[in-house]
Amino acid sequence: MTLKLKIWPHNRRALSPIFATMLLAAIVIVMGTTAYYFSSNLTTNATNQYVSTISTSQQSISERIAFEDVQDSSSPATLTVYILNCGAANNVQINTIFIYNANNQMVGQPYSGSAISSIQPISGGTPTPKPIAGNSLQVGQEGYFTVTLSAPLQQGSLYIIKLITKSGSTFNYDFTA
């Protein structure tokens, strides 16, 4: 007895293009989805960074600080600075202070953090003991703060105080110690 194998007739050429097309479509869909989410994430991050930068720039452009007075004390070595927010931006905060002599040489180090006291409000022409909430001057608000100096300033000499806000605005004032 002979065993005959029955061969099923199938056209391999007909199935191969179908599987190839499905595989190619799946690859294109996966790669396209990945590219879409990558570019979407990249665009979202860039947009958020741009909005943040514009917001900071807008704050910086709107800030105006007027110096009312600067008083020097040698014992202890402190500088009391009276300022007024005369701009259009609220929440103006002091970040760093530089002091230069008449030859534009920095006196001491840049003052920031604990070297600068909290801003104290001035109400009715007199200082009040309660600091301004958030250390932020609102539009039209005046206040003062003290800077603890590393050494006393030379009496009768000209100095320049450079005040930099949190948003990067810079304001200068000349005074005599």
Please write the tens of the pLDDT for every residue from 2-37.
666 666 566 555 567 778 888 899 999 999 999 999
Q: Where are the domains of the chain?
A: 13-62, 63-176
| Contact in structure between 71 and 138 (CB atoms under 8 Å) | no
The pTM (predicted TM-score) of the whole model is 0.65
Is 117 within 8 Å of 53 (Cβ atoms)?
no
| pLDDT confidence band for 79 (50 / 70 / 90) | confident
d(CA 29, CA 155): 76
Highest mean pLDDT range out of 26-40, 50-64, 83-97, 99-113? 26-40
pLDDT value at position 127? Answer: 59
The verdict on whether omega for the bond into residue 76 sits within 30 degrees of 0, i.e. cis, is: yes
What letter would DSSP give residue 81? E
> Residue 37: what pLDDT?
92
Query: Is 51's pLDDT higher than 80?
Result: yes
- Between the CA of residue 142 and those of 51, 81, 87, 177, what are the distances in Å? 30, 11, 12, 22
**pLDDT for the residue 137:** 84
Q: pLDDT band for position 76 (50/70/90)? A: confident
**Average confidence (pLDDT) over 124-141:** 75
> Is 108 strand, coil or helix?
coil
Q: What is the CATH number of domain 63-176?
A: 2.60.40
* Position 139 pLDDT exceeds 90: no
**Residue 158 has what pLDDT?**
92
Quick check: 136 pLDDT over 60? yes
Strands 120-123 and 142-148: antiparallel
pLDDT at 168: 85
Q: In this model, does residue 155 exceed pLDDT 60?
A: yes
The answer to whether the CB of 80 falls within 8 A of the CB of 149 is no
